[in-house]
Structures are given as structure tokens and as C-alpha cells.
């Protein structure tokens, strides 16, 4: 089968732990043909959605880990699968790409995750669909609402809706120090919506990334554990990644959400859980394949490929 990966520049990949590269490797090892382009290379031309793309070969060693073929123009519906793996943030150009990919699905292309499902699921706001699974949460642009929430819960976390990798996450304790300044700065004086949640002390045991693939749950999570005085467990913020089996609570939450999200076209999902509470539902470019695979006996890339082959029939 021919797999087209829409991703960031290959030169930017972190070779030692990149989940997209892990997907590419296992697909190539199984005999599938790889193709690559960036989102800017998706075009509407001659009444078709096409990709100006290149064949891709993963090399086993050497200074350059990949080899690209000549540039070709192919309709997206000629690929067995189109894998959308461009990293957040979800900005206007990301949104434009999903609209183009939706047009491609109308022409018969098979896109994972489905572009309409990506658009419908804000990685932070989507948790509000499952209020019984989330910590006390406020979404607002109003400082006064945040102040009342803080008075109620005392210890809170404030974050922007379009952040990634722990960017812009602040904790405000019972003393309320700098609360107004943080809200005004993050919210650009009421111009941007913020999410506020009760601080969960279980973050000390890790912000757990749980992978859902094809409606099934990977039985290990990657606990991203904050280091030192840091409150953020995100690996990009210096957190330590430790793979561990899912707890009974984590498994129950994941097994509840997996079939619901998969039915909507969200083939690959990264749930973030702290103390059993869902804090985010990541659908754009979930990661942690390599860390879980290296630290456990569970081969996440192979599990992903088997599920993809099954979905393609």
C-alpha cells in the first residue's frame, strides 16, 4: 500500500523519539511504500485535491536518515492512506489544510485522523463533553470569573486554549499572587479565551499520556513527571517520561472514550490524564510511541500499523 505522510520538514524530526518516524519505519519494514509532503504542498488543482509529494525511503544508518525521490503530483485519493501528522499549533493554516483534506475525502481519499473530526475536537475544549471525567474546569475570557473560581478552589492552573508542550501554563496558589497579571497577559486583556482548572497534586506522579488506536487502548501510559519545582510534566518542558501499566481507573476511562472517538474518525488519540481525570484529548499529532515501546514489551508502532491495515480492509 502507498502511505502519504503530511508532516513537518523531515530535518526537524527528533530521530531518537519521533512517533511519525516510528510509524514510517514500521510501515516500510512491512513492505508499504512511503510518500512525504508538507501541508503547504496540498493543492486544489484541475478539480482535484493533489499533493506535490516525493517518495520516501528510511535509511538504516548514515548522516541522513531519509532519502527522497523526485517531485510528483498525485491526487490524494490515489493513496491507500493519508496520514495527517503536522504538529500543532492549530492555526488558520492548519484549519485550511483540514478543509482541503475534507475535499479530498469527498473524492474518496482515506485520511487519518479524519479532517472533520480534527476540526470538531479542540484538544482542550473537547473534554467538556465528558464533565464527569474532568477536574473542576472553567473556560472564560473574564478575569472576574477566574477570581471567583480561584476563591472556590484556592490552587488552580491557567492555560491558553491553543498552547502545546506545556506552553503558557501557570499555577496560582492560595495566596493568589499575580493572578490578575497572569490572566491579563495570557488572555491579552480579554481578547483570548483561557481554560482554568483546579490544580491536581497527582501531577507529582505524572501527567499520563494514554494512546487510543483504532478504538483500542494501548495498555501502557507514558507518565510525564515534572522535575524539580516545575509543575508541567510535558517532555518539551523538561518532564521525565516513564512508561507504566494503566491503572484500573485509567483503563476504565480510556476504554469508555476509545470507541466513541474512533467512531467519529479519530483513529489515533492521545488522552492526557492526571490522577484519573482527563485534562486534554489530543487528536492532531499524538506522540509517545517510541518511549512506551522502548520501556515496555509493547510495540506501539506495530500495534498502530496493524490497526491501520485493519481499518483499510
Contacts of 276 (CB under 8 A, 6+ apart): 202, 247, 249, 250, 253
Q: Are 297 and 291 in contact (CB under 8 A)?
A: no
Q: Which of 38, 163, 142, 159 is nearest to 91 (CA)?
A: 163
Give 161-207 as a DSSP string: TT--TTTT-EEE-TT-TTHHHHHHHHTTTTTS-EEEEE--GGGGG-E
Contacts of 275 (CB under 8 A, 6+ apart): 135, 200, 201, 202, 203, 205
Tell me how long the chain is: 313
How far is 107 from 104, CA to CA, in rounded Å?
5
Please list the active-site residues: 124, 159, 209, 224, 232, 272, 280, 282
H helices of the chain, in order, are: 19-29, 92-106, 115-120, 143-153, 179-186, 248-263, 289-295, 300-312
Contacts of 47 (CB under 8 A, 6+ apart): none
Amino acid at each position: 500500500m502507498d502511505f502519504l505522510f503530511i508532516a513537518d520538514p523531515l530535518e526537524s524530526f527528533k530521530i531518537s523519539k519521533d512517533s511519525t518516524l516510528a510509524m514510517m519505519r514500521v510501515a516500510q519494514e512491512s513492505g508499504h511504500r512511503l510518500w512525504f509532503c508538507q501541508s503547504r504542498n496540498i493543492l486544489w488543482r484541475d478539480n482535484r485535491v493533489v499533493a506535490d509529494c516525493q517518495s520516501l525511503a528510511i535509511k538504516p544508518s548514515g548522516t541522513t536518515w531519509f532519502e527522497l525521490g523526485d517531485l510528483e503530483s498525485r491526487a490524494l485519493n490515489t493513496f491507500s492512506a493519508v496520514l495527517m501528522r503536522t504538529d500543532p499549533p492549530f492555526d488558520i493554516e492548519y484549519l485550511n489544510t483540514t478543509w482541503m483534506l475534507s475535499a479530498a475525502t469527498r473524492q474518496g481519499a482515506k485520511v487519518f485522523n479524519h479532517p472533520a473530526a480534527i476540526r470538531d475536537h479542540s484538544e482542550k475544549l473537547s473534554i467538556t463533553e465528558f464533565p464527569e471525567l474532568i477536574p473542576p474546569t472553567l473556560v472564560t475570557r473574564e478575569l472576574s470569573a477566574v477570581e471567583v473560581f480561584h476563591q472556590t478552589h484556592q490552587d488552580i492552573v491557567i492555560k491558553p486554549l491553543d498552547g502545546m508542550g506545556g506552553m503558557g501554563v501557570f499555577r496560582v496558589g492560595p495566596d493568589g499572587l499575580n493572578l490578575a497579571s497572569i490572566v491579563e497577559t495570557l488572555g491579552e486583556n480579554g481578547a483570548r479565551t483561557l481554560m482554568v482548572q483546579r490544580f491536581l497534586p497527582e501531577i507529582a506522579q505524572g501527567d499520563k499520556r494514554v494512546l487510543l488506536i483504532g478504538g483500542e487502548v494501548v495498555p501502557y501510559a507514558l507518565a510525564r513527571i515534572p522535575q524539580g519545582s516545575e509543575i508541567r510534566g510535558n517532555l518539551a518542558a523538561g518532564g521525565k517520561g516513564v512508561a507504566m501499566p494503566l491503572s484500573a481507573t485509567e483503563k476504565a476511562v480510556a476504554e469508555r472514550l476509545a470507541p466513541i472517538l474512533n467512531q467519529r474518525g479519530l483513529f489515533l488519540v492521545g488522552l492526557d490524564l492526571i490522577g484519573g481525570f482527563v485534562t486534554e484529548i489530543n487528536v492532531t499529532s499524538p506522540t509517545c510511541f517510541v518511549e512506551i515501546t522502548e520501556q515496555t514489551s509493547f510495540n506501539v508502532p506495530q500495534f498502530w500499523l496493524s490497526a491501520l491495515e485493519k481499518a483499510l480492509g
